[in-house]
Amino acid sequence: MKKYSIQSLVQETIQDDLKNGLFELEKEYILELNINSQTVMIKKGAMIAYDGNVKFEREGIFSKGIGNLLKKAVGGEGTSMMKATGSGRIYVADCAKKIRVLYLDNESIHVSGNDILAHEESLKSDVKLMKSVAGIVGGGLFQVGISGTGHVAITTHGDPLTLLVKPGRPIYTDPNATVAWSGNLTPEFKTDISFKTFIGRGSGESFQMKFEGDGWVIVQPYEEVYGAE
């Protein structure tokens, strides 16, 4: 019965003190942020624990893009951010979604508003409203452009799939399953009313995101509907 003891549980799940980078994956679903007189941006509600002298300040990510009025109208999207400053370790997670840490080297990406977990303050973030009713119906109401040099953490339900976009070979994705795409791509919305729309789950496949050019797009094996009851 030794393997079921309290001590075995502690040893199996204990934090790794050897990790001291700014962005470290403590577990598959938990991100550790080691800050030392630094500032990081964290998704509101994602902090699950911390130690040290850390101060949290709520900041609407929309304040950098669309404005307070729209932020109040759609605040349930989950794209508001917190500013964390000071020195210590912060542990963040989001609904047991898998976390991927990316380091941008003077690069840019676009992330669905609900799938960004944290990023360095040094990175520029720009929130944009999808210019289509499909963005509203499909759930992917906002996209966040992240650019510059630094770390960013994104989340996915399950293991993501990256699709390469080639010239002359566009990729079509479900807005609810689309997580991120390369900074040089600008998706268009395509309406495809078909028999599929009227049967099955009715998940909105009639609205699709179309990616053309040369780049990549990440999708997840889950249709994330924001604001669902």
Q: What pLDDT sits at residue 5?
A: 82
For 120-144, what is each residue's pLDDT tens digit? Answer: 999 999 988 765 544 444 444 688 9
CA-to-CA dists, residue 203 to 70, 141, 180, angstroms: 26, 16, 20
Q: What pLDDT sits at residue 176?
A: 87
Task: Give the range among 25-34, 64-73, 181-190, 220-229 with minimum mean pLDDT.
Answer: 64-73
For 44-79, what is each residue's pLDDT tens digit? Answer: 999 999 999 999 998 754 455 444 434 433 434 445
Q: What DSSP assignment string belongs to 9-29?
A: HHHHH---TT--SSEEEEETT
Pick the CATH number of 20-219 from 3.60.160.10, 3.30.40.10, 3.40.109.10, 3.40.50.300: 3.60.160.10
Q: What pLDDT sits at residue 1?
A: 57
Q: What pLDDT sits at residue 130?
A: 67
Helix (H) or strand (E) holding 96: none
Q: What is the pTM of this model?
A: 0.82
Q: What pLDDT sits at residue 19?
A: 74
Q: What angle do CA 201, 207, 213 make, to 5 degrees?
A: 135
